[in-house]
Amino acid sequence: MSEQDRVRWEERYQSREAPRAVAAELPAVFAPFANEFPTEGRALDLACGLGSASVWLARRGMEVWGVDISATAIRRARDLAARSGVSDRCRFDVVDLDLGLPAGLSVDAVVCHRFRDTRLDQPIIERLAPGGLLAISALSVVDAEPGRFRVAPGELVAAFAELTVIAAGEGNGEAWLLARKPVPV
Q: Which CATH class is domain 1-14+22-181?
A: alpha beta
Tens-place pLDDT, residues 69-123 = 999 999 999 999 999 999 999 999 999 999 999 999 999 999 999 999 999 999 9
74-101 CB burial, b ≥16 within 10 A, e <16: bbbbbbbbeebebbebbbbeebebeeeb
Confidence of residue 176 (pLDDT cuts 50, 70, 90): very high
The residues facing 179 across adjacent strands are 134, 165
Confidence of residue 1 (pLDDT cuts 50, 70, 90): low
Task: Report the pLDDT value the prediction gives residue 148, as an integer from 0 to 100.
Answer: 76
**Whole-number Cα distances in Å, 99 to 2, 69, 148:** 10, 11, 19
* pLDDT of 18 strictly over 80: no
Q: Please state, in angstroms and rounded to a whole number, the distance separating the CA atoms of residues 42 and 91.
A: 11
Confidence of residue 15 (pLDDT cuts 50, 70, 90): low
What is this structure's pTM?
0.90
| Ranges of each domain in the chain | 1-14+22-181
